[in-house]
A and B are shown apart, each in its own frame.
Chain A
Amino acid sequence: KNQVEQSPQSLIILEGKNCTLQCNYTVSPFSNLRWYKQDTGRGPVSLTIMTFSENTKSNGRYTATLDADTKQSSLHITASQLSDSASYICVVNYGQNFVFGPGTRLSVLP
């Protein structure tokens, strides 16, 4: 069954600290993996898209990694800011379909 799991379910960190969110998937055939940030009450915004051949991609303070062999991805946030408080959703694209993870709820406290 095509599935995307994310951990942790929620995370609380202090402003300025780093954190890493995890995504494991059992999706085949794999096309690409996306990380989205979703602020409360708003639509998701794309952070990165990674294909099979890419194992690291950065977007400012966000760095995503992909290990296609183990079917794992991580999103590392550096020097967190209050505005990073949001849900982070991992999405795997296969063929013409998307499988969404349940998301990780990140809270950054001052």
Chain B
Amino acid sequence: NAGVMQNPRHLVRRRGQEARLRCSPMKGHSHVYWYRQLPEEGLKFMVYLQKENIIDESGMPKERFSAEFPKEGPSILRIQQVVRGDSAAYFCASSLTGGSNQPQHFGDGTRLSIL
């Protein structure tokens, strides 16, 4: 998992607060993907971003969730007005270029707990 950095590793929020999860891709990678992992479930795709562009957000809930990947700085996954059901591990992955012929490399995730 060397290279993809996620922080914080653990995040605790109360219901109604905002959660911000950060992801710095591997050096040289300009494509970022966010996934959510619930207990007993597989990783679920949320959103795919390139620098300053959202390419595919078909897996992201329509409300309360947003993502960005600015020209400078890490990618941010933002969850507003968190609810208990948002408790999960959120993983970020990066690839050198887009497309399915490019493997995705994952960070160690942010574990979000909602009180």
Q: Are A and B subunits of one complex? A: no
